[in-house]
Amino acid sequence: MINLDKTMEETVKNSNEEMGERTKERKKLLNSRPIFYGFLALLLAISTAKFVFEGSLRYIIFDIVAFALFVAYCIWKRRYKILALVFAVFMFGFGWFFVGMATFEGKEIAGSVNVVGRISDDIKHLRYDDDATVVLKDVRVDAKLIGNVKLTISDFGDLQVGDVISFTTQLEKVKMFELGSFNQSAYRDRTPYVAQISSKEVTVREKDVVAFDEKCRMAVKDALYKNMGEENGAYAYAVLFGDKNDLSSEIYNNFVAAGIVHLLTTSGLHISFLLAILAFFLKKLHLKTLPNLAICVGFLLFYCYLCGFTPSVLRAGVMGVVLFFTTLSGKCYDGLNSLGLAGGIILLVSPLSALDIGFLMSFFCVMSIFMLAPILTKAFKKFLPKFVASSFAVSISATLGILPFGADFFANFNFLSFFVNLIAVPVFSLIFPILFVSAFLCTFMPFLSFLLKFCGFGLIFIKNVAIFFGQTHLQTTLKPIDIFLKAAFFVTLFSFSGFILQSKRARLISSATMLLLCGLVFGLSYVQMPVGASIVYGYDNSNSTLILTNSASQSVIVDFGDEEYCRKLLNLLNIKNISTAFVLQKSTVLINSAREVGVETLIRCDDGQGYDEETLFSLNTAGQVGGFSFKYVAYGSTLVGLEIIFDQTSVFVLRDRNASENALKWVAAEKYDFVVLGRHANYAKFFANSKILAYSETENANLFSTFSKNGNVKISVFDKKYERRCLD
C-alpha cells in the first residue's frame, strides 16, 4: 500500500511538473529553432545594410524604430543575452554585406585596354541578327587577372566554347544596384565588367581550353540535341541544369504563364527526385552509414558543381545532406533548422545572395511549405484522398511562398497554377530521374537513345499542359510588392503556422488582422498617383531608355531593350500605362518586348520593319501624340535624331551613329533644352546652350548628367526649373 501511495504521489508530481513545463511553453511566443532564427537575423542584417547603403530614408527610420522597440523589450524583460546576440549578428551582417561588395566589385578601368579571356559554355544567342552574349572567364587585362566579363559579340560567327580570345575595348564596371534592384545576373555569373565588340575585332589565341564541368554539360547537351531535336533538347537541358540560354522564349513564357516555371530551375524539387533514386540503390547495396553518407554528399556536390552552385541547388543540396545524415543516424530531422543551416552556409560563402530573387524565392518557398502544408493537408483530408490532399497543400503553400517575389520577377499570376502543378509535378517526378540517368548513359552508350525519346514524350506532355493553361484568361498582372509588405505577408503566413505557441483563437485573430492590413496596403499600391512632368534617362548595360511624362501624366518612351528593366523603371516611376514608343535605334526595340511592357503603337521613321503595330513617319515631318509633338530630324537625307517637345520643353535624342560636324552644328542651332547624346559624349562641345545627358564623362564639357557618374536619372520639369534626382 505504501508503494502504491508513493507511485501515485510521483505520478501527480510528474504531472504537475509536466503541466508547469507546458505553461512555460505557452508563455513563449515562438518555438525553439535557433539555427533558423539565426539565419533570418543574418538575412535581415544584410538586407538592412543594402537599404542603408542606398540611403533609403524610409527603411532607415523603420530600422531605428524597430531596433529601439526591441532594445526596450529586452531591457524590460532583462533579456540581455538575446540583445547582445542579435546586436552581434546585425553588426556581423552589416560588415559582411560590405565584404561581399568589396570581393565582387571591379575597379574602374579607364580607356581602351587589351583583354584576354576564355569563352565559357554560358552563351546566349540574342533574338536578332547573329549577336550573342558570353561569359568570358579567366580574364586578364594587361596580364592582370580581373575575374569574368559579360561580353556581347556582334556577328558571333564561328567562335566556340573554349576559345581563348584577345581584343581591345573599353570595359564598363557593372553597377551593383540599379532602379532599387540588385544586379543578381552579374553576381551569379561573377561578372563585374561588361563590354561590347564585333567578332571582326577578335583574335583567337588558343582553342579547346574547356573546363571539366563544361565538358560534361556539353557532352550531355550534344546527346540531348542529337536524340531529341534542338528545341526539345534545349528544353531538356534547361530541366537538367537550369541553363535556359538556348530555351525558346515561347516555351519559357508558357511555363511562366502557367505557373510551373520552377520546373525549369534546378532546385529542391529536382534534388528530392534524384535523392529518391539514390536512396533506392543505396538501400539495395546494404552499405553502412558512413559510406552511404559519403556517396550522398559526393553525388550532391557533383550535381551542384554541374549546375554552377546556384543558390537554389546549393540550398537543396545542404538540406539533402542533412536529411540523409539524420535518417541514417536515426535522429529527428528538423526542416526549419535544416533550411536555416543551408541559408547560413550560403550567406557566409556568398553574402550578397541575400539580395538574389532566386535565393529568396527558393528559401521562402520551402519555409512556406514547412509552415502551411501540414495545416492545409489536415484540412483537405476531410474531403480529399490523402495523396491528393497532400499534393494540393504543398502546391498552394509553395505558390504562396514565391508569390511576393514572383510579382517582382514575372509580373503575372495564374489562378489555375495550383491545378497545373497537380498535373505537371507528378509527371515530372517520373520523367526527371529517368531523364537524368538516360542523359548521362546515352552520352557514353548511344544505343540507349530510346530512353531519351521516351523522356521526350513526357516533357512534351508537360509543355502542352503549360501551353494550354498558359493561354487561359484567368490571370492577373501583379505589381511589384514593397519590402514592408513582403515582410508583413510572411509574418501573416508564420502566424498561421504551428510555430507560434499561442492558442488557436489568438493565432486566428492575429492572422486575420495581418491579412487585412496586407490586403489594404496591397490595394493602395494599385491606386494611380499623379506622376508629374519629367524626363527619365537610364541604361540597361548596352541599351538606353528615355521616358518623357507631361503635366497631364501622359508618357511616351524612346527606345528600350529589355522588357524586365523597362518594367522595373515604369513601376518605380508609378507609370501604369505607356501606349506609345518611338523607335530611333533600329535594333533596340523588339516587338515582343513592346507587347510585354504594354506598348500598343511603335512610331518609326519611314524605313520601318513592317510590323502591324508600326506607324511610319517621313523624315522632317511633324507629328503629334497626345501632348507630345515630334519630328524625325534629318540633315539632307541622313537621319540625325528625334525631336520631342512637351510642356514648353524641347528634347533632342541623337541617333547612335557617328554624325558629321555640319549636321551637329545644324542641330545645335535649334538650342534644345535637353540633348541626349548617349555614348557620344564627345559631341557635347557642339551643344553649349543645352543641358546634356550622356553615358560617360568627357573633358571640357558641362554635362548635366552622365550614367557612368549619376546612374539612372529623373529630371523634374516645372516652369523650366529643372530638378535632378538619381534613381539608383
Taking CB atoms within 8 Å and a gap of at least 24, the contacts of 54-60 are: 54/177, 54/180, 59/483
Q: Check whether residue 236 and residue 343 sit in a common domain.
A: yes
State the total domains in the chain: 6
Residue 315 lies in a domain: yes
617 neighbors 633 (Cβ within 8 angstroms): no
Could you tell me where the DSSP H helices lie in 555-681? 563-572, 591-597, 661-668
Question: Which one of 524, 553, 586 terminates a domain?
Answer: 524
- Bridge partners (DSSP) of residue 632 are 642
Give the model's pLDDT for residue 183.
83
Q: Check whether residue 438 and residue 502 sit in a common domain.
A: no
Query: Domain holding 152: CATH number?
Result: 2.40.50
167 neighbors 202 (Cβ within 8 angstroms): yes
Pairing of strands 164-169, 203-206: antiparallel
Residue 71 lies in a domain: yes
Spatial neighbors of 516 by CB under 8 A, at least 6 apart, are none
Query: Domain holding 643: CATH number?
Result: 3.60.15.10
Write the pLDDT tens digit of every residue in 223-257.
Answer: 999 888 888 899 999 999 988 888 887 888 888 88
Write the pLDDT tens digit of every residue in 62-110.
Answer: 777 777 877 887 788 787 877 887 788 888 988 899 998 888 888 888 7
Q: Check whether residue 246 and residue 348 sit in a common domain.
A: yes
Rg of the chain, C-alpha, whole Å: 29
Q: Check whether residue 246 and residue 187 sit in a common domain.
A: no
Handedness of CA 532, 533, 534, 540 (dihedral sign): positive
Q: Check whether residue 52 and residue 155 sit in a common domain.
A: no
| Rounded Cα distance, 697 and 420, in Å | 52
Q: Check whether residue 132 and residue 83 sit in a common domain.
A: no
Q: Check whether residue 255 and residue 161 sit in a common domain.
A: no
Q: Check whether residue 300 and residue 192 sit in a common domain.
A: no
Strand ranges across the sheet with 534-540: 614-617, 601-605, 580-582, 555-558, 543-549, 534-540, 713-718, 721-726
Taking CB atoms within 8 Å and a gap of at least 24, the contacts of 597-603 are: 597/557, 597/560, 597/563, 597/566, 597/567, 597/570, 599/557, 603/630
Residue 710 lies in a domain: yes
Q: Check whether residue 300 and residue 230 sit in a common domain.
A: yes
Q: Check whether residue 519 and residue 582 sit in a common domain.
A: no
613 neighbors 594 (Cβ within 8 angstroms): yes
Handedness of CA 394, 395, 397, 402 (dihedral sign): positive
Question: Which one of 163, 189, 210 terminates a domain?
Answer: 210
Give the model's pLDDT for residue 652.
95
Question: Which one of 210, 245, 266 terminates a domain?
Answer: 210
| Rounded Cα distance, 36 and 30, in Å | 12
Q: Check whether residue 592 and residue 716 sit in a common domain.
A: yes
Burial class (CB in 10 A: 0-12, 13-18, 19+), 72: exposed
Q: Check whether residue 584 and residue 715 sit in a common domain.
A: yes
Residue 529 lies in a domain: no
Residue 21, domain extent: 1-26
Classify each residue of 434-469 as buried b or exposed e, where b means 16 or more C-beta atoms within 10 Å of its C-beta.
Answer: bbbebbebbbeeeeebebbeebbebbeebbebbbeb
Give the model's pLDDT for residue 455.
87
| Rounded Cα distance, 239 and 633, in Å | 49
User: Which parts of the chain sit beneath pLDDT 50?
Assistant: 1-30, 588
Q: pTM score, two decimals?
A: 0.75
